[in-house]
Every structure is written in C-alpha cells, then in structure tokens.
Amino acid sequence: MKWTLSQLRKFNDEAVEFDGELNIHDLTDRRDVVSVESAYVKGEVLVQRDQFHVQLSIDSIINMLDSRTSEEIQVPVSVESMEIFDETVDDEDDLAENVHPVIHTLDLEPVIRELIIVNLPNAYTKSEELTASGKDWTVIDEDDHLHESAEKVDPRLGKLKALLDSDEKKED
C-alpha cells in the first residue's frame, strides 16, 4: 500500500480504490500481543492538488494472551479512519490529528500499524466468570460473604457476645 505521488497525481480529483491483505510482523512490543493473524485493508485515496485524503477500513485478527488465563486467543480489531496526507506541511508539530506530511511516496503501512495499535484493547478475556484464587484467598460472591460474616463471631469478641447473651436472658 505504497504509491509515488506522481502515480497518484494521474488521478487528480478522482478516487483511487484499493484493497488487500497486509503482512504485519512485530506489531508492538507489548507482551500480551503474540502476533497478527491477518490485516485486511480496503479504502480509497482522493487526490486533491497537494493533499491526499485516504479513507481506510481495517479488519484484523490479533493473537493475544487472555488477561485472566494467559491462554492465546484471537481478538478481532476493526478500524475506520479518514487520514489526510499533505505535501505542503513540513513540520509535524503544526499538524492536526489525522494529517500527515508526505514528500515523494504515500506509504500507508505506518499509519495502518498505528491505527491497529491504538485500537488494541488494554485487557481482553473470553472468560465470563471469575475463577481466581491464590495463596490464602479466593474470589467469592457478595451474598456468600454476607452469609459467612453473619455466622462467624470474632474470637476476640466472644466474651462480649457471651455478656450480651447473658444480659438478654436476665431481661426475659
């Protein structure tokens, strides 16, 4: 997904459609991202003088580690974006969010990579229930906790409970 600007200028005020699969290796250095299964990109480039408006639709499947179980799972990522490549802008600090400087070639791969990375979930799991436990602790429902705490009496307060029970018997 790379064109020279002279190739694109032949289509002045026309849309150039494209679609295809992009091979992306080493997407990010995040430990939970294992690999990119596939990245299908389609869209169009509208050529207008010194600007190139690119409408992108990205559908990819990312192999990630499950946040709870650490098993490898497939996470679908879909992104829709409008990116503008401008020849007249030299300084990236003066650019708006979706405007990119371009000199001789229009290369979409870095933008596609960035869009996929930004849209990756921070934590993802396919598991619906909490089955976590560890040394000396487990995850329990709130109802179970309330039931357990109502039955248990702190041993340090056992004498006070006995005193309270004896006061109740005296009142009867």
pLDDT tens readout for residues 116-144: 889 988 877 776 655 566 667 777 777 77
Q: In the structure, what pLDDT confidence band is assigned to residue 153 with cuts at 50, 70 and 90?
A: low
Residues 43 and 83 reside in one and the same domain: yes
Q: Are residues 10 and 72 in the same domain?
A: yes
**30: in domain:** yes
**Do 53 and 113 have their domain in common?**
yes
What tokens appear for 59 in the block? 């559908």
- The verdict on residue 63 lying in a domain is yes
User: Residues 106, 154: one domain?
Assistant: no
Identify whether residues 40 and 83 lie together within a single domain: yes
CB 42 within 8 A of CB 78: no
How is residue 28 written in tokens? 């990010």
Give the range of the structural domain holding residue 159, as residue numbers without chain letter: 140-171
- The answer to whether residue 82 scores a pLDDT higher than 80 is yes
Pairing of strands 33-48, 51-65: antiparallel
- At 149 the pLDDT is 62
In a domain, 135, yes or no: no
The amino acid that residue 145 corresponds to is H
Co-location of 12 and 89 in the same domain: yes
Q: What is the pTM of this model?
A: 0.66
Beta strands 99-101 and 72-86 are: parallel
pLDDT digits (tens, 9 = 90+) for 1-40: 788 887 888 877 778 899 989 888 888 888 888 888 888 9
The answer to whether residues 112 and 154 belong to one domain is no
Asked if the structure places residue 130 within a domain, the reply is: no
**In this structure, is residue 39 part of a structural domain?**
yes
Kindly report the average pLDDT of the chain as a whole number.
81
Number of domains the chain contains? 2
Based on the fold, state whether residues 112 and 155 are members of the same structural domain: no
pLDDT for residue 67:
80
Specify if 151 maps to a domain. yes
